Each structure stands twice: as C-alpha cells, then as structure tokens.
C-alpha cells in the first residue's frame, strides 16, 4: 500500500484494525520493495510482452485486456480469482451467458442445490472440523458423529456461533 495520507492516518488504521486487516506499507516511490506487487507486475509485464509482436507502442491499449485476464484467472494460492474475492461473484462475459463455461456451471449447480425454497433454511449443520486435508479444504463430522463422505472447501463453510 502506498503511504498516502488517506491510508496512513489514525481513523483508517482503526477501521482496518476493527476488520482485522493488516496494513503493510511499501517503501515510498519504490514498489519493487513490496514482493507481492513485484510478482504481479512481473506477470503483467510478461503477459504484455506476449500480446504484442513488433509494436511496443500499443501496450497501453492492451493493458485493460491483460488486467482482465489476470483478474479472472483462478489462483490456486488463494483458491479463487481476484475478481471473485473483490466482487463476491465470478465474472461472466456475454459469451458465457448463452453458453455457460465450466466455471459458471459449477457456480450455478451450487446455488441451484442450496436454493430449495423461499422459507427453507439456507445452511446445514453444525459440523465439526476433524481434519485439514489441504489448505482451505476440511473433512467434517456431522451431529450423528459420522464423517461426511467428501471434504468441503471453505467457500461453502461458515463459522458456527453458539
């Protein structure tokens, strides 16, 4: 994050603290010191280089296309696309509306199964986490003390408060 006054003030710091957001400021005018920014910039530069052949003057026109591609590409490290994390829904391009892609079909199936009726409960459980299979994926045990047959991703789980 840059060191602008809109980010580096007591009110904003308190806001972030309340939401358990860890602020991390970059060295002023030297974004290379921020490893995550450097990694993303490297991906964007590499993608831009592959997009244009001989004319290097058109990179600005291609930037929006490259950024869209980056934001809508699934990232295994976070288990989602950056677009989904920011907006809470997957990006759907007009082509996918008439002919759903695998990604949009998967979302539709999950939402279709969970919407049983207007007055039906939207959640099941509670379940107990008995094993972490891989990051963000858990094996659960039901109230009958039997493990569920398949592990569940954190996208489908919510904390249970008594």
In a domain, 40, yes or no: no
In a domain, 92, yes or no: no
Structural domain that includes position 154? 124-162
In a domain, 67, yes or no: no
Q: Are 140 and 148 in contact (CB under 8 A)?
A: yes
Q: Where are the alpha helices (DSSP H) in 5-143?
A: 10-18, 35-51, 59-71, 82-87, 94-98, 102-114
Average confidence (pLDDT) per 10 residues, the chain, 162 residues: 75 90 68 72 84 69 85 87 87 60 44 52 74 79 83 75 57
In a domain, 162, yes or no: yes
In a domain, 21, yes or no: yes
Name the domain count of the chain: 2
pLDDT in tens, 25-52: 765 555 555 677 778 888 888 888 877 7
In a domain, 101, yes or no: no
Q: How far is C-alpha 134 from the chain's CA centre?
A: 17
DSSP 71-99: HTS-BTTTTB-HHHHHHSS----HHHHHS
């Amino acid at each position: 994050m840059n060191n602008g006054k809109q980010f580096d003030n007591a009110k904003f710091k308190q806001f972030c603290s309340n939401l358990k957001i860890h602020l991390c400021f970059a060295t002023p005018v030297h974004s290379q010191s921020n490893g995550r920014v450097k990694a993303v910039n490297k991906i964007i530069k590499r993608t831009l280089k592959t997009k244009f052949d001989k004319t290097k003057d058109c990179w600005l026109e291609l930037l929006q296309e490259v950024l869209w591609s980056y934001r809508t590409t699934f990232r295994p490290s976070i288990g989602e696309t950056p677009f989904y994390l920011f907006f809470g829904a997957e990006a759907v391009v007009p082509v996918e509306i008439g002919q759903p892609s695998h990604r949009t079909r998967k979302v539709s199936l999950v939402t279709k199964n969970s919407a049983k009726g207007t007055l039906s409960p939207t959640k099941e459980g509670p379940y107990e986490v008995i094993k972490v299979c891989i990051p963000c994926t858990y094996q659960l045990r039901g109230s009958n003390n039997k493990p569920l047959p398949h592990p569940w991703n954190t996208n489908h789980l919510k904390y249970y408060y008594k």
